[in-house]
Amino acid sequence: MIGMTTLGLLGLLALFVLLALRMPVALSMLGVGFVGTIIANANKFISVGMSPDQAWARGWKIAYSNLSGETFEAASNFNLLVIPMFVLMGNLAGISGMSKDLFNAAYRWMGHMRGGLASATIAACAGFAALSGSSLASAVTMGRVALPEMKRYKYADSLATGSVAAGGTLGFLIPPSGGMIIYAVLTEQSIGRLFMAGVLPGIILTLLFIGAIYLTVSRKPDMGPRGERSSRADRMASLAHAAPILGVVLVTIGGMYTGFFTPVEASSVGAFLTFLVAAWRRSLTWQASRVVILQTMNATATVFLIIIGAFVFIPFMSLTELPAQLVTLLTSLPIGDIGVLLVIILAYMFLGMFLESMAMLVLTIPVVIPIAIGLEWDLIWFGIIVVIVLEMGMISPPVGINVFIVKSIAPDVPMSHIFRGIWPFWFAMAIMIALLIIFPQVALFLPQTLVGG
């Protein structure tokens, strides 16, 4: 018989091996969780005197029951309707030209400053993140709009690509963040409260990114030359064009904050309003509609499969009692709560060098959440910290998925230049984490005042 702790460690090792072999994270978790549940239950029944044949038969039966039950639970969870609705909203925003309007508005107001185009890119990424909830969509969409402009004004490649890669990560923090939805489901937290918790940190991190650009161009002015100063009429016209986007964001986020909408209702209203804007702009051709529907279905199916995989893997980890033993180990160390938190953050930073953010989130939640509960941390506050550390992983070498996204948009820029450009933003994220540790209310203020939350 295999000891439960040993089985848990072997399960994690098998999972990492499958991921290293490029197996999709959802299928890796499904496979390891299913097989591990069989072995764990068979061992348990053998230990109480059941014959091996009966024990293995019972193990298979429990594993199949768990697989079907968790799949049905995920697929029938009403709250998960926010996923297809917010994905649809982001896709409609992309084809309706909203991303260009956001960038043009930010450029008209900020482009005349030194490094203004890079700052405008960050501001536009933040705005688009509030529509799409996706870091990849933000990086791809804004990169295609902003990088040619920065190249035209002879921006340094490192600053131009770094600002797009870092700005894209805001889609993982600013609601409606897909990462937050998965965190909320796996930890049984309120999606609405998590969304509200991401608003102030998202705004502050956006300002920190702009501050990082300011410091960079102050030290080396030639990295971000000034653009043309727009007239007051042009600035106001750009705001008028961006008004529909701002209106949709205010209605969805404001509706959730005031309690007028639940998150599910807000996602539906947001998708409908974005659809009206796209239809009014005559962007919804048959071909565009087909692309939007297929992209939404593909993204939704991917996220649901990840959730189902996590729902199968997490019970297996609970059976092995490995998370409980880690809680005992870490809480017994003479380093205090802050020390334990720093250990977790450093572990996330290390894993972020090799794992994609969504994979890292679903793999680590079964391990770190029992620790957070054992230390009586607020899981909303802890979730925001986790999300920001995951953002750091999106631009950290050698994996840094957003870096590779930017590389695909700017193939002529060496990878080393892109990685060189992300470091000011990486340290800005580290400052944001420090602020959250020192001032937890930055994340908790809005959720605590949330109507009905």
What's 230's DSSP letter?
P
Q: What pLDDT digit, counting tens, does each position of 229-243 carry?
A: 888 888 888 888 888
Q: Among 128, 130, 129, 133, which residue's Cα sits nearest to residue 83?
A: 133
CB atoms within 10 A of CB 23: 15
Confidence (pTM): 0.83
**Cβ contact 96:274 at 8 Å:** yes
| Dist CA 155 CA 64 (whole Å) | 57
Q: What is the mean pLDDT of residues 257-284?
A: 86
Peptide bond into 447 cis (omega under 30): no
| Dist CA 156 CA 150 (whole Å) | 8
Q: What pLDDT digit, counting tens, does each position of 411-429 carry?
A: 888 888 888 898 999 999 9
Mean pLDDT score of the chain: 85
CB atoms within 10 A of CB 255: 17
> Which distant-in-sequence residues (6+ apart) come within 8 Å of 227 by Cβ?
107, 111, 112, 116, 117, 153
| Dist CA 68 CA 66 (whole Å) | 6
**What stretches of 321-378 show up as alpha helix (H) in DSSP?**
322-332, 336-352, 357-374
Q: What pLDDT digit, counting tens, does each position of 335-362 carry?
A: 888 888 998 888 888 877 777 777 778 8
Token pair, residue 78, equals 């009403």
Q: What pLDDT digit, counting tens, does each position of 284-333 carry?
A: 888 888 988 998 888 888 888 888 888 888 888 878 877 777 777 777 77
Phi, psi of 155 (to 5 degrees): -70, 150
